[in-house]
A and B are shown apart, each in its own frame.
Chain A
Amino acid sequence: MSEKSRSDKKGFKRRDFLKIAGVASVAAAGTGVILPKEKIFASSKRGKKGHLSNEVKPGELDAYYGFWSGGHSGEVRIIGVPSMREIKRIPVFNMDVATGWGITNESRKLLKGKYTGDTHHVHGSYKNGTYDGRYLFVNDKLNNRVARIRTDYMEVDAIVEIPNAQGTHGLFPQRYPKTEWVVANSEFQVPVPNDESNAGAFNKPKEYYGLHTIIDAERMSIVCQVMVDENMDLAATDYKGKYSMTTSYNTEKGVTISEMLAADYDYMLIFHWGRIREALRKGKYKWISGVKVIDGRKGHSDIVLRIPVPKNPHGVNISPDGKYAICSGKVSPTCTVVDLDLVDKAFEGKIKPEDCIVAQPEIGLGPLHTTFDGRGNAYTSVFIDSTNVKWNIQKAIEAEKKGPEEKKKKEYIIDVLDIHYQVGHIMASMAETKEADGKWLVSLNKFSKDRFLNAGPYKVENDQLVDISGKKLRLVHDSPAYAEPHDCIIVRRDIIEPRVKDRYNMFEHPLAVVKSGVERKGRNVTIRMTSNAPVYGLQEVTLKKGDRVTLIVTNHDEISDLSHGVAISNYNINFVIAPFQTKSVTFTADKPGVFWVYCTNFCHALHLEMRMRIIVEP
Chain B
Amino acid sequence: MKKLSFFLVLLLSITSLVYAQWEFFEHRYKYKLSDVLKADRFIKKDLYWEGYRNGKVVGYVFLSKELTNDLVGYSGKHMETLIGMDTEGRITGVKVIYHSEPIVLIGLKEDNYKRFIKQYPGKSIKSPLKLGKDISMDAITGATVTAMVQNAIIAGSARKVASKVGILQARVAKKKRKLSTRYVRMTWEELLREGAVKNLRVSYRDLGLKGSEVYLDLYFGLVVPPSIGRNILGQRAYRDIMGRLKEGESAIFVFGRGKGSFKGSGYARGGIFDRFNIEQNNKVFVFRDKDYRIITGIAANGAPDIKEGGVFIVRGKEFDPTMPFKFTLTLPYRVGAKKIFKSFTVEYRLPERFLEE
Contacts and interface: CB of A to CB of B under 8 A. Distances in A.
A36 B298 CA distance: 9
Contacts of A556: 18
B22 A35 contact: no
Contacts of B102: 605
B17 A515 contact: yes
A532 B21 CA distance: 9
Given A36-B236, A36-B237, A538-B17, A13 B290 contact: no
Contacts of A23: 201, 214, 217
Interface string A35-46: 111110001000
Given A29-B306, A35-B236, A60-B296, A560 B258 contact: no
A435 interface: no
Given A538-B17, A559-B270, A61 B76 contact: no
A29 B304 contact: yes
B302 A17 contact: yes
A128 interface: no
Count chain A CB atoms within 10 A of each CB in B18, B217, B257, B268 and give the residue with the most: B18
A11 B315 CA distance: 38
A516 B20 CA distance: 11
A598 B297 CA distance: 41
Interface residues of A, number: 51
Contacts of B106: 605
B301 interface: yes
Count chain A CB atoms within 10 A of each CB in B21, B106, B235, B306 and give the residue with the most: B21
A529 to B, nearest CB: 9
Contacts of B318: none
Q: Is the interface of A mostly helix, strand, loop or mixed?
A: loop
B294 interface: yes
A532 B106 CA distance: 19
Contacts of B105: 605-606
Given A29-B304, A494-B236, A561 B268 contact: yes
A559 B271 contact: yes
Contacts of A494: 236-237
Given A26-B217, A36-B234, A59 B308 contact: yes
Given A61-B294, A503-B290, A29 B258 contact: yes
A485 interface: no
A10 B189 CA distance: 13
A30 B259 contact: no
Nearest to A612: B21
Count chain A CB atoms within 10 A of each CB in B234, B236, B290 and give the residue with the most: B236
Contacts of B302: 10, 13-14, 16-17
A560 B271 contact: yes
Contact of B301 (A13, A29, A515, A560): A13
A542 interface: no
B305 interface: yes
Given A35-B297, A559-B270, A18 B236 contact: no
Interface string A489-503: 000001001100011
Interface string A528-556: 00101001111100000000000000001
B317 interface: no
Nearest to B303: A17
B295 interface: yes
Given A494-B236, A560-B289, A32 B17 contact: no
Contacts of B223: none
B16 interface: yes
B237 A29 contact: no
Contacts of B16: 515, 530, 537
B2 interface: no
Contact of A498 (B21, B240, B257): B240
Contacts of B271: 558-560, 562
Q: Is the interface of B mostly helix, strand, loop or mixed?
A: mixed
B257 A26 contact: yes
Contact of B234 (A27, A35, A503): A35
B44 to A, nearest CB: 35
A36 B240 CA distance: 11
A539 to B, nearest CB: 7
A20 interface: yes
A560 B290 contact: yes
B306 A30 contact: yes
Contacts of A61: 294, 296
Contacts of A526: none
A34 interface: yes
B307 A559 contact: no
B296 A32 contact: yes
A537 B17 contact: yes
A582 B17 CA distance: 18
Count chain B CB atoms within 10 A of each CB in A20, A38, A39, A561 and give the residue with the most: A39
Interface string B130-157: 0000000000000000000000000000
A535 B201 CA distance: 43
A217 B212 CA distance: 60
A530 B16 CA distance: 10
Contacts of B201: 23
Given A34-B296, A34-B298, A559-B271, A532 B236 contact: no
A595 B289 CA distance: 36
A33 interface: yes
A2 interface: no
Contacts of A43: 297, 305
A34 B214 contact: no
Given A20-B189, A29-B258, A559-B271, A535 B18 contact: yes
A25 interface: yes
B296 A517 contact: no
Contacts of A32: 296-298, 305-306
Contact of B21 (A502, A539, A561, A605): A539
A39 B304 contact: no
B213 interface: yes
B216 to A, nearest CB: 10
A604 B271 CA distance: 12
B237 A16 contact: no
Count chain B CB atoms within 10 A of each CB in A35, A43, A61 and give the residue with the most: A35
Contacts of B290: 502-503, 558-560
A480 to B, nearest CB: 27
A537 B297 contact: no
B245 interface: no
A519 to B, nearest CB: 14
B308 A35 contact: no
Contacts of B214: 23, 26-27
A31 interface: yes
B313 interface: no
B233 interface: yes
A322 B91 CA distance: 73
Given A36-B299, A60-B296, A30 B307 contact: yes
Interface string A48-62: 000000000001110
Nearest to A606: B105
Nearest to B16: A515
B305 A35 contact: no
Nearest to A61: B296
Interface string B1-30: 000000000000000111101100000000
Contacts of A33: 296-297
A29 B305 contact: yes
B72 to A, nearest CB: 11
A525 to B, nearest CB: 17
Interface string B177-192: 0000000000111001
25 contacts: A10-B301, A17-B304, A18-B304, A23-B217, A26-B213, A26-B304, A27-B214, A29-B258, A29-B305, A30-B305, A30-B306, A32-B306, A34-B299, A35-B234, A36-B237, A43-B297, A61-B296, A494-B236, A502-B289, A515-B17, A516-B17, A559-B271, A560-B271, A561-B268, A604-B269
Given A21-B192, A26-B304, A39-B234, 12 more contacts: A17-B189, A23-B214, A26-B213, A27-B214, A31-B305, A32-B297, A32-B298, A37-B236, A532-B22, A535-B21, A559-B269, A562-B271
